[in-house]
Amino acid sequence: MTKRLEGKVALVTGGASRPGIGAAIAERLAEEDAIVVVSDIDHAGAAETAALISEKGGNVTAVKQDVTSQRDWEEVMAAVLADHGRLDVLVNNAGILDVAAINSDRAVPALRRQFDVNVEGSFIGTQAAVAAMRQSGGGSIINLSSVAGLVGFRGSASYAASKGAVKLFSKSVALEVAEENIRVNTVHPGIIRTNMQSAGADTNSDNYAAIEAAIPAGRLGEPSDIANCVLFLASDESSYVTGAEFVVDGGYTAQ
- The b-or-e profile of 90-108 (16+ CB within 10 A means b, else e) is bbbbbbbbbbbeeeeeeee
Q: How far apart are CA 150 and CA 175, in angstroms?
A: 20
CB of 149 closer than 8 Å to CB of 164: yes
Which residues are identified as catalytic? 159
- Phi/psi class of residue 33: alpha, beta or left (left: φ > 0; alpha: ψ in -120 to 50)? left
Q: Which amino acid, residue 61? A: T
Residue 245, helix vs strand vs coil: strand
Contacts of 77 (CB under 8 A, 6+ apart): 11, 87, 128, 129, 131, 132
Segment holding 126, helix H or strand E = helix 121-136
CB of 39 closer than 8 Å to CB of 33: no
- Phi/psi class of residue 199: alpha, beta or left (left: φ > 0; alpha: ψ in -120 to 50)? alpha
Residue 193, helix vs strand vs coil: coil
